[in-house]
């Protein structure tokens, strides 16, 4: 059974530092990997989606890499801002339609 792990569970950095969030998964047979952002009590906002054939995706200050063979993905957020404070979730797509297996998330606090 696919298991997704995110370490650390929580992270606090000063404004301006780069953020590095890790996600690992046990079964490399995935269709894609998505990174989401969740603000307290709110829904999920999709940040980046990496197809299984891709190595990375970029959007603005965000960059996500995928190493399927080793079962790892990393989300980099450059020059962090207080507005980046949120919980970041990674999820792998385990079938061709839509079953997502989520990690428990990394709670990020960026201090001014």
Partner 1 sequence: EAQVTQNPRYLITVTGKKLTVTCSQNMNHEYMSWYRQDPGLGLRQIYYSMNVEVTDKGDVPEGYKVSRKEKRNFPLILESPSPNQTSLYFCASSPGRAQFFGPGTRLTVL
Chain positions contacting partner 1, by CB under 8 A: 4, 31-32, 34, 36, 41-44, 46, 49, 51, 89, 91, 93, 96-100, 102-105
The size of the chain, in residues, is 112
Question: Which residue, 9 or 79, is less far from partner 1 as judged by CB?
Answer: 9
Question: Which residue, 71 or 105, is less far from partner 1 as judged by CB?
Answer: 105
Question: Which residue, 14 or 98, is less far from partner 1 as judged by CB?
Answer: 98
* SS3 track for 12-78: EEECCCCEEEEEEECCCCCCEEEEEEECCCCCEEEEEEEECCCCEEEECCEEEEEECCCCEEEEEEC
Compute the least distance from the CB of residue 32 to partner 1, in Å. 6
Q: What whole-number distance in Å separates Cα of residue 82 and Cα of residue 88?
A: 14
Question: Which residue, 19 or 23, is less far from partner 1 as judged by CB?
Answer: 23
Compute the least distance from the CB of residue 14 to partner 1, in Å. 26
Compute the least distance from the CB of residue 15 to partner 1, in Å. 27
Compute the least distance from the CB of residue 86 to partner 1, in Å. 14
Contact in structure between 73 and 50 (CB atoms under 8 Å): yes
């Amino acid at each position: 059974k696919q298991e997704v792990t995110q370490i650390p569970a929580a992270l606090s950095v000063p404004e301006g530092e780069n953020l590095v969030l890790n996600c690992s998964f046990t079964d490399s047979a995935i269709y894609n990997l998505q990174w989401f952002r969740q603000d307290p009590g709110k829904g999920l906002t999709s940040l980046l989606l990496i197809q299984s054939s891709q190595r990375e995706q970029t959007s603005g200050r965000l960059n996500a890499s995928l190493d399927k063979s080793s079962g790892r993905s990393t989300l980099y957020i450059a020059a962090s801002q207080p507005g980046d404070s949120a919980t970041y979730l990674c999820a792998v797509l385990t079938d061709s339609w839509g079953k997502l297996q989520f990690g428990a998330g990394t709670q990020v606090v960026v201090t001014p």
